[in-house]
Amino acid sequence: MDLEFIISLIVQIVMIGVIAVALMTAFAAMVMVERKLLGRFTLRYGPNRVGKYGSLQIIADMFKLFFKEEVIPGHVERTVYLMAPGLALVPALMAFAVVPIAGAPFTLPFQIMGTPITINPWIANVNVGVLYILAIGSLGTYGVILGGWSSNNKYSLLGGLRTSAQMLSYELPMGLAMLSAILIVGSMQLTNIVEFQASYLGGFFWLILVQPVAFIVFYICALAEAGRSPFDLPETENELIAGFSTEYGGMKFGLFFAAEYVHMIVVSFIMATVFLGGWSGPFAQQAPFLGIGYLLIKVAFILFTMIWVRASIPRVRFDKLMKFCWKFLLPVSIANAAATALVLAVLFF
């Protein structure tokens, strides 16, 4: 093994650590921002006692979760019970790996042992990036269903089944919405998808312009996948006793909580990358750091709309949730994909 390979390996591992820490920090910030925004939507201030404008509230909450007694109920399937929160969180973090956060690799201003160090703006640039996202997204279901099953509690099991049924159903229209986008780009690699969007119409050929229906379907499915309101049947804090996480407390509950928020953030990144042009924007090719800014602005906007939706729309009933997915979203997304394919075939072949 030569030196260059070892150094690139170390750089890669450091990058993975940095991204994971950044996502967990984003989760903490997101909880804070969501509570503040929901407060403003309902004519309240939200938390504003701890720190300036309540900015340290999340640290206080985290301390509380960490220092709670680790209660493991006697009737649970111990190994699986302890594994489930991690199984929920890790796939949510992993999906971020293929998202390109900028246009070009960064070169660090110093050298280590005579080797210049370049940092790629992605962790993995796999050529089946979209498939990878869908596959990893499905893995998140395991955490939920295993958490519900290992709790050895009827209500948790029912909650887990309910949640996994929801997540599996909404994956189908999500994949078909992605398919419509892929058909236009002709590649599943996320870097190619962004470059395609950046190279036409002066860098503003965002796929939302040609695939608005696919974007809306993807947005709805993203809400359902991340367990966000109005599809927050997984938690249903107020009427269905928190579903699969009933038997969890302390930081184990915190991990489920983190998984939901990380899922939401990562899915926003994917949405911004596939439909809103990712890092592309004016001068983003020349200055890669600008690209990160553009991407973050787009993601922040999507996250804001998610909170806005939560503040506006009441939770749907479970049978209507399934009916909406199978009888409306799925036919619409199939029709959209078919129409896209037909138009492309007529235009280009």
Partner 1 sequence: MIKEVVTSSTEIARAMGVTIKYFFTKPVTHQFPDEPVEVYPRFRGRHVLKRHENGLERCIGCALCAAACPTDCIYVEAAENTDDERYSPGERYAKVYTINMLRCIFCGYCAEACPTEAVVLEHDFALAEYDRWDAIYPKERLLEPHDASKVVVVRDDEVFVNVSRWGKK
Residue ranges that bind partner 1, judged by CB under 8 A: 37, 39-45, 308-309, 311-313, 328
CB of 269 to partner 1, least distance (A): 23
Measured CA to CA, the distance from residue 152 to residue 13 in angstroms comes to 38
Measured CA to CA, the distance from residue 221 to residue 223 in angstroms comes to 5
Residues 6+ apart with CB under 8 A from 38: 46, 307, 310, 311
Q: Which is nearer to partner 1, 41 or 318 (CB)?
A: 41
CB of 47 to partner 1, least distance (A): 12
Measured CA to CA, the distance from residue 349 to residue 344 in angstroms comes to 8
CB of 307 to partner 1, least distance (A): 10
Measured CA to CA, the distance from residue 157 to residue 148 in angstroms comes to 4
| 96 HSE (CA, 13 A, CB side) | 26
CB of 40 to partner 1, least distance (A): 5
For residue 160, give the H/E element and its range: helix 154-185
Judged on CB neighbours under 10 Å (0-12, 13-18, 19+), 69 is exposed
CB of 313 to partner 1, least distance (A): 6
CB of 308 to partner 1, least distance (A): 6
Q: What are the DSSP calls for 255-307, one per residue?
A: HHHHHHHHHHHHHHHHHHHHHS-TT-STTTTT-HHHHHHHHHHHHHHHHHHHH
